[in-house]
Amino acid sequence: MALPDYSMRQLLEAGVHFGHQAHRWNPKMGNYIFGVRNNIHIIDLAQTVPMLHQALQAVSDTVAKGGRILFVGTKRQAQDGIAEAAKKSAQYYVNSRWLGGTLTNWKTISGSIQRLRKLEEMLSSNEAQGYTKKERLDLQRERDKLDRSLGGIKDMGGIPDMLFVIDTNKEDIAIKEAQRLNIPVAAIVDTNCDPNGITFAVPGNDDASRAISLYCDLIAKAAIDGISRSQGERGVDIGAAAEPVIEELPAKTDGPGYEVLPGPRGVADDLKKLPGVSPAIEKQLNDLGVFHYWQIADLSHDAAHKLGESVGLPGRADQWVAKAKSFTAEAE
């Protein structure tokens, strides 16, 4: 793969060039303003195009080195796009209220994530039947509240390596925390924003839904490109071999390499605990007949890679096997 292609025409059609009313501008954005039309500042897309490319390259490089990208966008029109892009690229997101200390006080946030996991396990098992209806409703409300704030980062496992932010004014706390920890930030900066302190600032409209969808799609594709590059760097170039490895070909025509189940045996395991597995990926695994850790723990390297390819995450397959083995060992 390569970095996603885009053109100035696409940016124009998405309304990226429209800034805010002239009286609402931030003077620090003066260098990125092309002019004024109908009292609206027009952003200079001739600068946006190369700056967006730099941001995409930075995202791809970060993921290629094994880094994690945190998508941040809590405004109403950005919430769905942020979550969808993060899930599509096996990254993480915050699209509800940003909790102060999410980065700088990760220890406390980790405790809340553990509480969320415990509630999910409790409510999905028979243990919840021991509570009264009112108690179960209270637990469900607590679970839902935690999931809104932490659901997108519960599998992150630590602070991210880079932030992608929509609307730097609204997400100023997240940006300050990232700056304090020297975490690079790629952000969309509108004409009313301050570009200072943003590692990869991209001048553009941060309010239009079409523009936000375009940014999220491009960043997600850049992250996927990074995953592909990472796999290519670790893998073997079979095409460059002097002779084809004929003996490996029949193995690819065999079964999936694991026991396919028509449904879970008892209570299904929470596959979302595996690295990079979102609810959507878990559903895909279930559709492939995978419901339990022991199924993944028994996979060979090739079978795990094939399963990962089936759900679009081949680079995570070996991590799944290692994690599944640890879970099955704990259960024993």
Provide the pLDDT confidence category of residue 48 given band limits of 50, 70 and 90: very high
Q: Are residues 25 and 97 in the same domain?
A: yes
pLDDT at residue number 320: 85
Q: What is the C-alpha separation between 165 and 174, in angstroms, rounded?
A: 9
Residue 332's pLDDT is: 55
Does residue 270 lie within any of the structural domains?
A: yes
Is residue 12 a part of any domain in this protein?
yes
Answer whether 0.85 is exceeded by the pTM.
no
Q: Do both 212 and 180 map to the same domain?
A: yes
For position 230, what pLDDT does the model report? 84
DSSP secondary structure string, 28-83? GGGGGEEEEETTEEEE-HHHHHHHHHHHHHHHHHHHHTT--EEEE--SHHHHHHHH
Domains: count for the chain: 3
Quick check: is 239 in a domain?
Answer: no
289: number of Cβ within 10 Å: 14
Distance from C-alpha of 95 to C-alpha of 98, rounded to nearest angstrom = 8
Per-residue pLDDT reduced to its tens digit, 170-216: 999 999 999 999 999 999 999 999 999 899 999 999 999 999 999 99
Q: Examine the pLDDT at 128 and tell me if it is beyond 80.
A: no
Q: Looking at the structure, do residues 171 and 80 belong to the same domain, yes or no? A: yes
pLDDT tens-place string over residues 213-256: 999 999 999 999 999 888 876 653 535 545 443 333 433 435 66
Same domain, 173 and 300: no
β-strand pairing of 18-21 with 40-43: antiparallel
Do 196 and 323 lie in one domain? The reply is no
Domain of 115 in residue numbering reads as: 111-148
Residues 289 and 191 in one domain: no
Mean pLDDT score, 259-288: 82
What pLDDT score does 275 carry?
86
* Domain identity same for 137 and 278: no
Let me know whether 12 and 69 are in one domain.
Answer: yes
Give the whole-angstrom CA distance, residue 241 versus residue 320.
29
Q: Would residue 273 count as lying in a domain?
A: yes
Q: What is the pLDDT of residue 102?
A: 92
Final residue in a domain of this structure, among 204, 231, 258: 231
Does residue 260 belong to any structural domain of this protein?
yes
Same domain, 120 and 258: no
Residue 190, domain CATH:
3.40.50.10490
Residue 45 pLDDT: 93
| Same-domain status, 184 and 144 | no
Banded model confidence at residue 277, pLDDT cuts 50, 70, 90: confident
Which residue among 202, 231, 260 closes a domain? Answer: 231
**37 vs 283, more confident:** 37
288: domain CATH number is 1.10.150
Do residues 214 and 171 both lie within one domain? yes
**68-89 pLDDT, tens digit each:** 999 999 999 999 999 999 999 9
For residue 229, the model assigns a pLDDT of 86
Q: Is residue 238 part of a domain?
A: no
- The pLDDT > 90 percentage for the chain reads 55
